[in-house]
Amino acid sequence: MRLYFDTCIVNDSFVLLQNHGGNKLRPEDVKCPLEQWTLEYIALYYLLDLDDQWNLEFGSSPVMYEELKNMRIRSALAREKKGTMLQMYDLLVEKIISYELLPVPGSLLKEISKILPDRKDIEHVCQALLGRWDYFITTDFNSILIHTKQLRPFGIIAVSPRKFIEDNFVTLEALVRTLHGSWVSLADVVKSWVNEIESSVEA
């Protein structure tokens, strides 16, 4: 299966790296409610590690690079974040056999614009459709995932990391117990991650 990542996924990957590296996070980098987003962080953490085992191909498009390149820098931590996210982008690009910005027909742009409000979201979805990706992976619940049903007829399935795993493979609870032992519950992992993320956020 081929999975298209939008820029939200790279942002979430940055949060994972900072958290597991014991580094600081800006308050705006952490999404709320934290417990809900922590479930998505956990799912993404496993998803990125199981691509070979599950025969998954990850990728994106130059739209992501444009977003990252135009990120505003207002602090040293923001500069570090931008650099790390651009490195992640380069890793994604290495996994894509044919990589280019695909020309978007005006008719497709018009139809997707009727569904999604944000210009960059529209561009991402159009690139995923034209690139024939199977899934559009994002944690943008407010702008993209609320329109999943409307996007489905175009041939793309927009889902969060957790929903992708649970719809195609196994529940997140079962995955946690398989990888860490039957005595470890998802609730335990969520509690631990929430505490770690909260302690990483700059005051």
Sheet holding 57-59, edge to edge: 57-59, 2-5, 135-137, 157-159
Digit-coded pLDDT (tens) for 25-41: 777 777 777 788 888 88
Is the model's pLDDT at 92 over the cut of 60? yes
d(CA 13, CA 161): 12
Question: So where are the chain's domains?
Answer: 2-200
d(CA 71, CA 10): 13
Structure-token pair, residue 25: 């996070």
Is the model's pLDDT at 179 over the cut of 90? no
For residue 12, what pLDDT is reported?
A: 80
Task: With CA atoms as reference, report the closest residue to 160 among 140, 142, 185.
Answer: 140
Displacement of CA 41 from its chain's centroid (Å): 9
Structure-token pair, residue 115: 């569904």
User: What is the share, in percent, of the chain residues with pLDDT greater than 90?
Assistant: 36
d(CA 166, CA 169): 6
